[in-house]
């Protein structure tokens, strides 16, 4: 590798740092889902490490609805020069799961059982900021259903998604 090639690689380096997720995990044992999400949104608790890895942020949280944003950069590209579908699916899974979480009382948790994504348009770095919104369709005692959509900076629809989540009691932990 010559000096020019090495400089190009160095310019494209991505170093990821994240905060200890322990405080948010501990708080999640003792507060309602919406409170946990608002504390993360407001910077009172650290975002989960996946947010730092992919570069997304929680920007809105209300009961049954969550919005996150992620820049469509080349660090997320597949070999065709578009944002990898897995990165888009991860963001959609996050907003839909967090929308479900926002409806849960203290002591309840969830996990994704299934996710379906419909990719409607390729996202490149020209898409700018991707905005994903998750909304709860049904919040039951044992299962919840949510839907998601993602648009680019110009409001063009990139993808839609749906999920089913298992809802369960958290194991009790000592207060943090």
Domain membership of residue 6 (yes or no) is no
pLDDT recorded at residue 43: 97
Residue 63 sits in which domain range?
19-169
Total residues found in the chain within this entry: 176
Domain membership of residue 175 (yes or no) is no
Gyration radius (Cα) of the chain, Å: 18
Kindly report the CATH number assigned to the domain that includes residue 37: 3.10.129.10
DSSP 107: T
**Nearest by Cα to 36 from 107, 141, 88, 92:** 107
- pLDDT tens-place string over residues 18-45: 999 999 999 999 999 999 999 999 999 9
pLDDT recorded at residue 119: 98
- pLDDT tens-place string over residues 101-140: 999 999 999 999 999 999 999 999 899 999 999 999 999 9
Q: Give backbone dihedrals phi and psi of 38, rounded to 5 degrees, phi first.
A: -65, -35
Domain membership of residue 63 (yes or no) is yes
Q: Give backbone dihedrals phi and psi of 35, rounded to 5 degrees, phi first.
A: -65, -45
115-134 burial code (b ≥16 CB/10 A, e <16): bebebeeebbeebeebbbbb
Strand ranges for the chain from DSSP E: 56-62, 65-71, 108-119, 129-139, 143-151, 157-169
pLDDT recorded at residue 12: 87
Domain membership of residue 4 (yes or no) is no
Domain membership of residue 12 (yes or no) is no
The dihedral through the CA atoms of 80, 86, 91, 93 has a sign that is positive
Domain membership of residue 91 (yes or no) is yes
Domain count, the chain: 1
Q: Give backbone dihedrals phi and psi of 84, rounded to 5 degrees, phi first.
A: -60, 135
Average pLDDT over residues 54-75: 97
Average pLDDT over residues 63-72: 97
């Amino acid at each position: 590798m010559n000096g020019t090639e090495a400089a190009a690689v160095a310019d494209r380096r991505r170093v990821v740092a994240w905060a200890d997720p322990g405080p948010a995990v501990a708080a999640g044992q003792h507060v309602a889902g919406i409170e946990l999400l608002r504390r993360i949104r407001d910077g009172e608790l650290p975002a989960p490490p996946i947010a730092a890895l992919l570069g997304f942020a929680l920007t809105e949280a209300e009961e049954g609805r969550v919005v996150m944003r992620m820049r469509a950069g080349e660090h997320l590209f597949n070999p065709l020069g578009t944002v990898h579908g897995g990165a888009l699916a991860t963001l959609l899974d996050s907003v839909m799961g967090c929308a479900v979480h926002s409806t849960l009382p203290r002591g309840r948790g969830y996990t994704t059982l299934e996710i379906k994504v419909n990719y409607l348009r390729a996202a490149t770095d020209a898409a700018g900021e991707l905005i994903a919104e998750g909304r709860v369709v049904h919040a039951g005692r044992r299962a919840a259903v949510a839907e998601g959509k993602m648009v680019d900076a110009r409001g063009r629809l990139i993808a839609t998604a749906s999920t089913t989540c298992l809802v369960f009691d958290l194991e009790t932990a000592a207060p943090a």
